[in-house]
Amino acid sequence: MKILVPVTEVATVDDEFEIEGTAIAEQYLGADLNEWDEYAIEEAVQLQEAGVADEVITVTIGPEECEQTIRQALAKGADRAVRIWDDALEGIDLLGVEAKAALLSAVVEDEDPDLVLTGVQAGDGAFGATGVSLASTVGYEWAAVVNHLEHDLEDGVASVRRELEGGVEELTDVELPAVLTIQTGINEPRYASLRGIRQAQRKELEVLGLADLGVDESAIGAAISLTDMYEPESESDATVWEGSAEETAGQLAELLREKGVAQ
């Protein structure tokens, strides 16, 4: 069984930052492997360790700078990686869900995986739609927001739990091939070992452009454009206590006593 794991590098933002135009100024940004995708990788690697999967491949849409993040995924146990990039993607400030699905579906068609595991959402854009969009583009079955996956995958069926709102889980059987979007907490993502990090440097990382994928430039055209970015107006009318930790803790203690706490 082959598992494809679409992973993304997300931008992280410092507590204090400035906005320039429709983006956060670069000096306040960091980069990291998307948190949700870490759980997807872990799930795939565990399926490999359980003898269910033969190969785990990651695919990432992103420029060369994100190769360090891709190597993180390889260091955690993925076998090889595909990176999609093209000059045509360079100037797009917000890549639409449809565009991502078009690019990733070309890789799914090439690789023909039995299972695609990806994070529920990306921590920066937070559209939460790429997985299901990909599934419906390639004609795979799917389940969104999966927080448990039975590893036997008997008879080509994935038995999953989907985490609904309000502490309710839905039990669902999904026919393979399928895309599952993975929720945090499904497992405990491992840290990459030193050996894993060394090995990751030698693993294959293939770079594909639009022509390689047979995707027309019109498929990635921006249906949606970012027109403004601003800090949300603070609605805070909180009483903020000032002073040393001892002083502020003292003020809070006083409030709690007034409220009858611990009496």
Partner 1 sequence: MTDVLAVAEHRRGDLRDVSYELVTAGRQLANETGGDLHLAVISGTVEDFAEKLNRDGVDTIHTVTDGEEFNHGVYTQTVAQLADSLDPQYVLIPNSVNGLDYAPAVATGLERPLVTDTIDLETDGETLTATREMYGGKVETTTELEGPAVVTTRGGEWPKAEGTGDAAIESFEPEIDEAALGATVTGFEEVGSGDVDISDAEVLVSVGRGIDEEENLEIIHDLADALDATVSSSRPIVDNGWLPKNRQVGQSGKVVTPDVYIAIGISGAVQHVAGMKGSETIVAINTDPNAPIMDIADYAITDDLFDVVPSLTEAFR
Hey, is 200 helix, strand or coil? helix
Binding mask 222-241 for partner 1 (x = CB under 8 A): -xxxxxxxxxx-xxx-xxxx
- Which of 164, 206, 216, 217 is the binder for partner 1 (CB under 8 A)? 164
- Which of 132, 153, 210, 215 is the binder for partner 1 (CB under 8 A)? 132
**Contact assessment for residue 127 and residue 116, using Cβ atoms and an 8 Å cutoff:** no
**Contact assessment for residue 32 and residue 9, using Cβ atoms and an 8 Å cutoff:** yes
Smallest distance from partner 1 to CB 37, Å: 14
Name which of residues 168 to 207 contact partner 1 (CB under 8 A). 168-175, 178, 184-185, 188
Measured distance CA(18)–CA(227) in Å, rounded: 17
Q: Is residue 211 near partner 1 by the rule CB under 8 A? A: no
Smallest distance from partner 1 to CB 203, Å: 28
- Of 172 and 201, nearer to partner 1 (C-beta) is 172
Q: Is residue 219 near partner 1 by the rule CB under 8 A? A: no
Smallest distance from partner 1 to CB 98, Å: 6
User: DSSP assignment of 59-110, as one string?
Assistant: EEE--GGGHHHHHHHHHTT--EEEEE--GGGTT-SS--HHHHHHHHHHHHHH
Q: Is residue 249 near partner 1 by the rule CB under 8 A? A: yes
Of the candidates 215, 224, 212, 211, the one whose C-alpha atom is nearest the C-alpha of residue 92 is 224
The residues, ordered by sequence, that sit 6+ positions from 34 with a Cβ below 8 Å of its Cβ are 7, 8, 9, 10, 119, 122, 123
Q: Is residue 15 near partner 1 by the rule CB under 8 A? A: yes
Name which of residues 96 to 115 contact partner 1 (CB under 8 A). 96-98, 101
Q: Is residue 16 near partner 1 by the rule CB under 8 A? A: yes
- Of 211 and 224, nearer to partner 1 (C-beta) is 224
Smallest distance from partner 1 to CB 82, Å: 22
Of the candidates 104, 125, 111, 136, the one whose C-alpha atom is nearest the C-alpha of residue 220 is 104
Q: Is residue 133 near partner 1 by the rule CB under 8 A? A: yes
- Which of 143, 192, 208, 210 is the binder for partner 1 (CB under 8 A)? 143
Q: What pairing do the DSSP bridges indicate for beta strands 2-6 and 205-208?
A: unpaired
Of the candidates 197, 208, 174, 188, the one whose C-alpha atom is nearest the C-alpha of residue 85 is 208
